[in-house]
Amino acid sequence: MEQIRTLTKMLEHASKVGPMTISVACAADADVLEAVEAARKKGVAKAFLTGDADKIALVAEKIGVNPADYDIVDEKSGEAAAAMAAVELVSSGKAQILMKGMLHTDNFLRAVLNKEKGLRSGGVISHVYFHEIEGYDRIIFVTDGAFVPYPDLSAKAKIIDNAAKFARAFGVENPKVAVLGAVEVVNPDMAPTIDAAALAQMSRRGQIKGCVVDGPFALDNAVSELSAKHKGIVSEVAGRADILLVPDIEAGNILAKSIVYFARNKTAGVVLGAKAPIILVSRADSAETKMYSIAASVVWAAYRKNK
């Protein structure tokens, strides 16, 4: 498979491997419905819409979406019940992808992690942002800036594994993973640099497979070959990273949102490591971002199905 280097190309690929069915929890939201409708029209996805059917229909009609084009699951008992209904559609196999609509994240995740009908897989569930940034010849993946707050060494290795598998679904055959810190040298007083060195050694010894991991790197020498050259860093990853592993959720969230607001970019995100792809979007995300997240989930689900 040829490497996908832009989100436009990703969308084209999603239309080829789709459509797949998504289950939207609490779907009475204009941006969410606009994204779902755009995905439907492009042949990327079909959808179940859960929540108050009257509210969903009202929002849909206001933005020119025909409710008859969707399977609406009427659940008026509240957002927790609607979230559980959406999750059950995925766990039962009626839908392949779960998407968060207009509800509180804690109610959504409570349904996802439900022991009986949820989407736990037994591994670490993590989030990846992926960015098409003007001036770069590839998509940059950033993990984890939204799900795992303060991962230890073991969790970081599993987060890398999740992100590397996702990158391979984009045709990145052997993703280069840069483990980020504030500096590019190992400093015993800076825990992220110790973890980075351990993860790099784990990669060299085959404990982390399907990617090349190195670090620690500061951001500049992870993505700029010129910066890496100036600092004398010799590494297959230096300046050419596909995946940026951040030390904690604060760093990841700030980095991802800095890209969104300070650069010309297209950005989306997906939750990995569950039984099915999960689209966990922010209310501030645009309909376009939500649509790209749907498309990426379809690409990811198709890749998993064929493995």
Tell me the C-alpha to C-alpha distance, in Å, between residue 5 and each of 82, 134, 199, 213. Answer: 36, 11, 26, 21
Q: What is the predicted pLDDT for the residue at 286?
A: 82
Q: What is the predicted pLDDT for the residue at 99?
A: 96
Q: What is the predicted pLDDT for the residue at 114?
A: 92
Q: What is the predicted pLDDT for the residue at 305?
A: 85
Distance between CA 260 and CA 270 in Å, rounded? 16
50 shares its domain with 78: yes
Q: What is the CATH number of the domain that holds 143?
A: 3.40.718.10
Q: What is the predicted pLDDT for the residue at 265?
A: 95
Q: How many CB atoms lie within 10 A of CB 214?
A: 23
Residue 257 belongs to what domain range?
126-262
Q: What is the predicted pLDDT for the residue at 202?
A: 98
Q: Are strands 126-133 and 265-272 parallel, antiparallel or unpaired?
A: antiparallel
Q: What is the CATH number of the domain that holds 49?
A: 3.40.50.10950
159 shares its domain with 282: no
Residue 132 lies in a domain: yes
Task: Give the chain's residues under pLDDT 50.
Answer: none
250 shares its domain with 294: no
**How many domains in the chain?**
2
130 shares its domain with 115: no
Q: What is the predicted pLDDT for the residue at 287?
A: 83
Q: What is the pLDDT of residues 92-123, one digit of tens each?
A: 999 999 999 988 888 999 999 998 899 998 89
Q: What is the predicted pLDDT for the residue at 144?
A: 96
